[in-house]
């Protein structure tokens, strides 16, 4: 068996990575996997860079940041699959929630506009800026919050203070009044709410019903040396997804994730996040694991929008060098999954179920809509 070192962050959306170990899918694919529970995304990034990890559960933006020249410039990373969709929540202080309710804010747009009024009031009385926590600068959490704030007329660079914290510590800082809110992966937002440290304002599905979030990252040189192992690793994770989507496995999934070896969180918090109306995590291998080039381009667009990179890159080339739909297809075909014909799709604009062209049959997809009605359209030649 080939030895593989895989890192993961203690979050519910590491489900496929830990399930594949617990259920024996890695060994069934000829892989001797050792998992490494990591404290933060910087650790994972650096260990991938220096060859201490061969693969990892990472933010969908992390390999793209590397491809755009942000962060350590050692080596490159490829992403042969997504590890699901959604899974994050935004938590605010109870005091801020009361203000929003007093202003009649019941939608995401209304809450962003209400926050703008809070910011204006604090400035008028010489109070500090609204402070929001994220787990990593180049993260989907950061882009979600910025997109939401901007929709309400707030300048995220000038009117908000940003801090980076480990998700498991964010609730403590919210309770102590150090921050006003945070965005992180589940189950930590749900744990904060259960402990009375804050209130969940919205979760990923309210922002984007089919939001990309985490991917499997593979160290480029390891992947080049072991191309069949990359496919085998991807297939093991897809098999984990096939197990995870079965309703009869829901309780076992929650118990497994809550274990000390993996997420190390109260079962009640894990279950709250996985339940209907929770963080909206989708683990379906057919609809939520394909590494869409359009996802990569949307994220790259956010890097440009917020001044994190210049717009002089060949974005199509960057996206296709990192996101690898070809490897997903190789892994998925023996499992009987339908294979998307295109590598890109429109992001947003689908309020109801819709279909993706695929063989041997089209794929019925869940709604794919952004809260502000925006649509990121692809241009097919």
Q: Is the pLDDT of residue 150 over 90?
A: yes
- Are 169 and 110 contained in the same domain? yes
The residue among 207, 237, 253 that closes a domain is: 207
Higher pLDDT, 378 or 368: 368
Position 261 in a domain: no
Higher pLDDT, 168 or 193: 193
Mean pLDDT to the nearest integer, 4-24: 98
- Are 226 and 293 contained in the same domain? yes
pLDDT of residue 312: 87
- Are 127 and 94 contained in the same domain? yes
List the CATH number of the domain containing 32: 3.40.190.10
- Are 129 and 33 contained in the same domain? no
Q: Which pLDDT tens digit goes with each residue over 248-300?
A: 999 999 999 999 999 999 999 999 999 999 999 999 999 999 999 999 999 99
Position 365 in a domain: no
Q: What's the structural domain count of the chain?
A: 2
Q: What percent of the chain has pLDDT over 90?
A: 95
- Are 188 and 225 contained in the same domain? no
> DSSP string of 118-177?
HHHHHHHTTPPPEEEEES-TTSHHHHHHHHHHHHTT--TTTSEEEEE--HHHHHHHHHTT
Domain of residue 143: give its range. Answer: 88-207
Q: Which pLDDT tens digit goes with each residue over 24-79?
A: 999 999 999 999 999 999 999 999 999 999 999 999 999 999 999 997 767 899 99
Position 48 in a domain: yes
- Are 114 and 193 contained in the same domain? yes
Position 277 in a domain: no
- Could you tell me the two tokens for 225? 């040396």
As a whole number of angstroms, the distance between CA 62 and CA 182 comes to 19
Min mean pLDDT across 79-83, 130-134, 214-218, 307-311 is at 307-311
Position 171 in a domain: yes
- Are 92 and 197 contained in the same domain? yes
The residue among 147, 179, 207 that closes a domain is: 207
Q: Which pLDDT tens digit goes with each residue over 216-243?
A: 999 999 999 999 999 999 999 999 999 9
pLDDT of residue 378: 79
- Are 57 and 103 contained in the same domain? no
Mean pLDDT to the nearest integer, 334-341: 98
Q: Which pLDDT tens digit goes with each residue over 304-331?
A: 999 999 988 899 999 999 999 999 999 9
Report the relative pairing of strands 181-185 and 339-340 from DSSP bridges.
Answer: unpaired
- Are 310 and 220 contained in the same domain? yes
pLDDT of residue 380: 59
Position 350 in a domain: no
As a whole number of angstroms, the distance between CA 271 and CA 241 comes to 18
pTM above 0.95, yes or no: yes
- Are 82 and 221 contained in the same domain? yes
pLDDT of residue 63: 96
Residues of the chain by 3-state class (helix, strand, coil), percent to 5: 45, 20, 35
As a whole number of angstroms, the distance between CA 347 and CA 357 comes to 15
Q: Is the pLDDT of residue 381 over 60?
A: no
Q: Is the pLDDT of residue 379 over 80?
A: no
Position 349 in a domain: no
pLDDT of residue 73: 65
- Are 217 and 333 contained in the same domain? yes
- Are 336 and 239 contained in the same domain? yes
Q: Is the pLDDT of residue 171 over 90?
A: yes
């Amino acid at each position: 068996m080939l030895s593989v070192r895989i890192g993961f962050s203690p979050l519910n959306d590491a489900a496929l990575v830990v399930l594949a170990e617990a259920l024996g899918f890695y060994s069934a694919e000829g892989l001797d996997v050792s998992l490494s529970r990591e404290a933060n995304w910087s650790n994972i990034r650096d260990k991938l860079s220096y060859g201490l990890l061969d693969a990892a559960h990472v933010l969908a933006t992390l390999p793209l940041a590397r491809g755009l020249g942000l962060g350590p410039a050692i080596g490159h990373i490829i992403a042969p699959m997504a590890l699901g969709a959604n899974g994050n929540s935004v938590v605010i202080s109870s005091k801020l929630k009361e203000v929003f309710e007093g202003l009649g804010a019941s939608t995401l747009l209304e809450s962003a506009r209400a926050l703008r009024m809070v910011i204006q009031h604090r400035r008028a009385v010489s109070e500090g800026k609204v402070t929001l926590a994220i787990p990593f600068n180049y993260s989907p959490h950061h882009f979600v919050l910025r997109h939401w704030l901007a929709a309400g007329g707030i300048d995220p660079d000038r009117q908000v203070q940003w801090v980076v914290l480990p998700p498991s510590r964010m609730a403590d800082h919210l309770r102590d009044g150090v921050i006003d809110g945070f965005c992180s992966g589940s189950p930590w937002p749900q744990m904060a709410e259960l402990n009375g440290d804050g209130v969940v304002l919205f979760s990923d599905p309210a922002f984007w019903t089919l939001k990309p979030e985490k991917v499997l990252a593979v160290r480029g040189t390891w992947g080049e040396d072991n191309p069949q192992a990359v496919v085998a690793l991807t297939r093991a994770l897809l098999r984990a997804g096939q197990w995870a989507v079965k309703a009869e496995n829901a309780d076992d999934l929650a118990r497994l994730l809550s274990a000390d070896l993996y997420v190390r969180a109260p079962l009640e918090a894990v279950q709250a996040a996985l339940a209907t109306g929770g963080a909206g995590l989708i683990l379906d291998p057919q609809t939520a694991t394909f590494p869409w080039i359009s996802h990569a381009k949307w994220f790259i667009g956010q890097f440009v929008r917020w001044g994190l990179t210049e717009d002089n890159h060949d974005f199509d080339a960057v996206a296709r060098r990192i996101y690898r739909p070809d490897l997903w297809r190789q892994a998925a075909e023996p499992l009987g999954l339908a294979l998307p014909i295109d590598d890109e799709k429109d992001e947003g604009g689908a309020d109801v179920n819709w279909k993706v062209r695929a063989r041997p049959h089209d794929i019925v997809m869940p709604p794919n809509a952004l809260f502000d009605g925006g649509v990121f359209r692809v241009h097919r030649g």
